Amino acid sequence: MKQEIKDVIFLHFIVFIWGFTAIIGLLINRTAVEIVFYRTGISAFLLGIIIFSMRLSFVLNSRRSLLKTVIVGFLLATHWILFFLSAKISTAAVCLVGMGTTSFWTSIIEPIFFKKQIQLFEVFLSLLALLGILIVFSMEVQYFKGLFFAILAAILAALFSIINVSLVKKENHFVITFFEMGFAFLFSGIILSFYLFYLSHKSFEWPTLPEGIWLFILASVCTVFAVSYSIKLMKRLSAFFVNLTINLEPIYGIILALLIFGDSEKMSLGFYLGTSLILSSVLLYPLFNRKSKRKPLESDILR
């Protein structure tokens, strides 16, 4: 089996895992900020153990790389807070569909970031996915806030995915993820402190045992494993293709949410029409990509 096919299959497996993320967020009876605080803290701790056991260096190769991980850490913390907030004020399905706009923002931001020509077929596929989002929005207008927060999270996801493409060529993917989780933990901790002491006036409480189990699964499987290896895949796959494939997360997530939560996650026919357009944008990408002979960003970074 060719390496590219293996990478694509593995990427779909990772996206399937991410389909659980919003669902786990709903199973944890904590605010979005608390979930992100625990998730990133546990993830950084587990990554530290992995790096130490593999005898890798904790030192990044340059100050520029360190600065990029600080930026990604901030974007990541904000992204996940908006993501879980969206799921909690709407539904897991609406949150995941809002994330389907990630490829649209990537198709615009990626060429600017790497000073490349915008690929028209990428814009077309992104607009197809965006049309699906608009159909979902028109049918599920009561979830406007949830969809809005999810779209903001998608913009941030596009930004830090593109930054990670440039990082992964110079740094180990576990080390990159460790620093990003560490800074995300720091930023979410600052936000949590402000929320507890100035907004809610509540005292800090440790999670219960069931919440701790879900948080550990969220940190270990959905974060340490999935995020680290998604970054590694960007050595060979473009940020656009990775984010376009992540559009399948709503499909996997909706199926899982229906199985777990039942009627509360059922949507209108328009909702499923919109998600089918998102799915089509993903399935059409290999055909357009083969005709345009688009190369992953690896070739651009190595130049």
pLDDT at residue 85 is higher than 90:
yes
Q: Which of 30-39, 70-79, 91-100, 174-183 has the lowest mean pLDDT?
A: 91-100
pLDDT at residue 197 is higher than 60:
yes
| Mean pLDDT, residues 37-63 | 92
Is 163 within 8 Å of 72 (Cβ atoms)? Answer: yes
Task: Please state, rounded to an integer, the average pLDDT across all residues of the chain.
Answer: 80
Nearest Cα to 99, choosing from 129, 128, 123?
A: 129
- Domain map (residue ranges) of the chain: 3-295
**Comparing 295 with 58, which gets the higher pLDDT?**
58
User: Could you tell me which residues come within 8 angstroms of residue 177 by beta carbon, excluding any fewer than 6 positions away?
Assistant: 43, 47, 224, 227, 228, 231
Nearest Cα to 120, choosing from 288, 295, 302, 300?
A: 288
| Mean pLDDT, residues 121-129 | 77
| Mean pLDDT, residues 60-64 | 88
This prediction has a pTM of 0.78
| Mean pLDDT, residues 2-22 | 82
Question: Half-sphere exposure of 240 toward its Cβ, with a 13 Å CA cutoff?
Answer: 30
| Mean pLDDT, residues 175-203 | 87
| Mean pLDDT, residues 187-206 | 82
Between CA 66 and CA 71 the distance in angstroms is 9
pLDDT at residue 265 is higher than 60:
no
Residues in the chain, total? 303
| pLDDT above 70 coverage of the chain, percent | 82
Q: Which of 70-79, 214-223, 287-296 has the lowest mean pLDDT?
A: 287-296
| Mean pLDDT, residues 195-221 | 85
| pLDDT above 90 coverage of the chain, percent | 26
| Mean pLDDT, residues 41-56 | 93
| Mean pLDDT, residues 5-21 | 83
**Comparing 272 with 164, which gets the higher pLDDT?**
164
User: Could you tell me which residues come within 8 angstroms of residue 296 by beta carbon, excluding any fewer than 6 positions away?
Assistant: 236, 237, 238, 241
